[in-house]
Amino acid sequence: MKSSAVLKKSAGWQSRKYKKRLVLFLSILFLLSGASLPARPAGILEITDDLGRTVVLERPAARIVSLYAGHTENLIAIGALGSIVAAGQGAEELNPDIPILGSKPGIEQIAALSPDIVLTRPMMARSQESLYKALDSFGIKVLALDPPEWEKFPDYVVLLAQMAGISGDVKKNVAEAMRADVRLGGKKLRAFLVTNGRTMTTCAPDSWAAHIMELAGLENAARGAVPLSEGSVLSAFGPERLLAADDEIDVILLQQGAMNTTRAEDFVRDARFSRLEAVLGGMVFDVLEADISRPSLLRLKNGAVRKLRALVMKREVSGCVEKTRPE
């Protein structure tokens, strides 16, 4: 009897020991699987924008209002044109079927479109604070993203793709577009980009424009310029410094857009610059601000780099402004 009791006690102890081990093993599996963490429903996307606000999308945005032309161009480039229900000023040339809201749309205009999200940039959100507060009060989600730096551009485009529900290897496609696609040969020309002809500012050394020039086989003549502020895409230069750097500049580019109204023909007629080597050699050109300074996958795909290279190499390319020679 005693032996039987001992056996039963031993068997019970072994059974309890086995159960404890089993519970411990299952608990470890449970933790490793992440099942102990609050499960996020499939398809949920949480984004913190450049104003520090968090936007949560339960599903991909099927109705997008894009108020900044750069965002609009990148959405089109990744195949999300069908999701754009309206765009801001500057998108007129992209597609005639996109409704344009203008530079200062009203809350009624936007709300009537029932957007899943409104894309803008922080500068616009700050300048039209009342509009964006009204959008918040209507429960309309707003995402404010700055035009990205060159190195962060692939991640930015991937974020847009996730937001719009676009699949595929987007990051790889972006990386391919950002590589040089022109055959370089001969002398590497040194180029100076005028971003504002009145104050004679230029592009910062690590700006989008500087990288586009590099891809086109040009050397940034202002590579030592200091940005106006931390993170700025612009650098101060001034007319005196430009004159002093004459022997280091082969090409002068004047970007045409909202930031600058000085054209190549105005520049070459300016008595201060009449003896510059680039002016005397007919190497002063107008370039579109959007082509050279806007972070845009669409423009990369449409040959912005090849156009710039062809322009300075004096080859005729459709859509490029011809070189301007002094009279």
Q: Where are the domains of the chain?
A: 45-176, 185-312
Give the pLDDT band of residue 139 (cuts 50, 70, 90): very high
Q: Fold match between 45-176 and 185-312?
A: yes
Give the C-alpha distances (Å, rounded to integers) separating 183 from 175, 180, 240, 287: 18, 8, 35, 20
pLDDT above 50 (res 25): yes
Give the pLDDT band of residue 29 (cuts 50, 70, 90): very low
Q: How far apart are CA 207 and CA 295, in angstroms?
A: 10
pLDDT above 50 (res 323): no
Q: 67-76, 95-104, 153-162, 163-172: which has the minimum mean pLDDT?
A: 95-104
pLDDT above 90 (res 38): no
| Residue where the block lists tokens 């940034």 | 220
% of the chain beyond a pLDDT of 90: 70
Query: Pairing relation of β-strands 54-57 and 64-66?
Result: unpaired
| Residue where the block lists tokens 């100076």 | 192
Q: How far apart are CA 33 and CA 224, in angstroms?
A: 52
pLDDT above 50 (res 8): no
CATH class, domain 185-312, is alpha beta
Q: Which CATH architecture has domain 45-176?
A: 3-Layer(aba) Sandwich (3.40)
Longest dimension (CA), the chain: 122
User: Which pLDDT does position 191 carry in this prediction?
Assistant: 97
